Amino acid sequence: MSSASTALVATHGLSRNFGGLKAVNQVDFAMMPGEVRALIGPNGAGKTTLVSLICGRLAPTSGSIEFAGKDITSLPAFRRVRLGIAYTFQITSVFANLTAWDNVALAAQRVHERHLRRSAHALSQAITSALERTGLADRSDQLARHLAYGHQRLLEVAMGLALQPRLLILDEPTQGLSDGEVENFIALVKEIAREATVLLIEHNMDVVMRLADRITVMEAGRILAEGTPDAIRADAEVQRAYLGTPA
């Protein structure tokens, strides 16, 4: 990155320890506005811990985090949501006994609270739009617990979209999706990227290579490599650590 001051999100010497385990170890990471970035690496590499630090679900052991030029290191997660950071979890966190519509409405309401003049009609439109974009409009009246796992993942994305984020973090979003749903998801992320920055943790390398402008590879809590999809595909260290030897 040319300068952290022009980045939407940047970390400086960011670390998180769990006892003797350095889950994230002195990480300098930056994303530019409008970018789609994929975060990849083997299980235990520190990917989910890093995004949990960025969104405020975890506090760092050391280091700092900036968002839109503001130091947010000490801000709680709900304050970061208000600034425009939305995070969908690796394990679904929808409200099982609420309908899909009501799940999205809860997220949209947070935006409504920031814009008190927003009408009930505008709020309803925002909910409808989020459900339509994720292909869930015809399931809006279903309880979340009755949705297939893949559709629960999409519901989380809809909830994230309803927050109108500047940064949307997606953790394993294609897990549980059918091939057709994965194709729709790829199209959706390309659409989202026109209005928001996207950080994507994903093990499906076809999805990664088709979506990412740049890829960050983590190993053992550190950044192993960063670059374009072509550069990462050809990187010998990445092949060793994660992708495997090409055929």
pLDDT at 41: 93
Q: CA–CA distance from 49 to each of 56, 61, 238 (Å)?
A: 10, 12, 20
pLDDT at 177: 85
Residue 184 backbone dihedrals phi, psi, to 5 degrees: -65, -35
Pairing of strands 167-171, 197-201: parallel
Whether 92 has a pLDDT exceeding 80, the answer reads no
DSSP 165: -
Residue 198 sits at the vertex; the CA angle it makes with 72 and 170, to the nearest 5 degrees, is: 90
**Least confident span in 2-16, 48-62, 98-112, 113-127:** 113-127
Q: Summarize pLDDT for 125-172 with one digit per residue, the tens.
A: 889 999 999 999 999 999 999 998 888 888 988 988 888 899 999 988
Residue 102 backbone dihedrals phi, psi, to 5 degrees: -70, -35
- State the Cα–Cα distance between residues 112 and 95, nearest whole angstrom: 20
pLDDT at 164: 85
Do residues 80 and 67 make contact, with C-beta atoms less than 8 angstroms apart? yes
Whether 20 has a pLDDT exceeding 80, the answer reads yes
Do residues 60 and 23 make contact, with C-beta atoms less than 8 angstroms apart? no
Do residues 143 and 96 make contact, with C-beta atoms less than 8 angstroms apart? yes
**Least confident span in 49-53, 65-69, 112-116:** 112-116
- pTM comes to 0.85
Comparison of pLDDT for 145 and 246, the residue scoring more: 145
Q: Where are the domains of the chain?
A: 1-84+167-173+200-242
Q: What is the CATH number of domain 1-84+167-173+200-242?
A: 3.40.50.300
The alpha carbon dihedral of 41, 239, 189, 227 has a sign of positive
Mean pLDDT of 217-244: 89
Q: Summarize pLDDT for 209-224 with one digit per residue, the tens.
A: 999 999 999 999 999 9
**What's the token pair of residue 11?**
């970390």
Q: CA–CA distance from 196 to each of 33, 96, 211 (Å)?
A: 7, 28, 14
- State the Cα–Cα distance between residues 41 and 215, nearest whole angstrom: 10
201, β-bridge pairs: 39, 171
* Sole residue written with tokens 């949307």: 168
pLDDT at 239: 83
pLDDT at 2: 39
**What's the token pair of residue 113?**
């609270």
Give SS3 for 66: strand
Helices (H) and strands (E) in the chain, counts: 9, 10
Three state DSSP letters for 185-229: HHHHHHHHCCCCEEEEECCCHHHHHHHCCEEEEEECCEEEEEECH
Q: Summarize pLDDT for 174-183 with one digit per residue, the tens.
A: 888 889 889 9
On average, the pLDDT of the chain sits at 88
* Exposed e or buried b per residue across 202-212, where buried means at least 16 C-beta atoms within 10 angstroms of its C-beta: bebbebbeebb
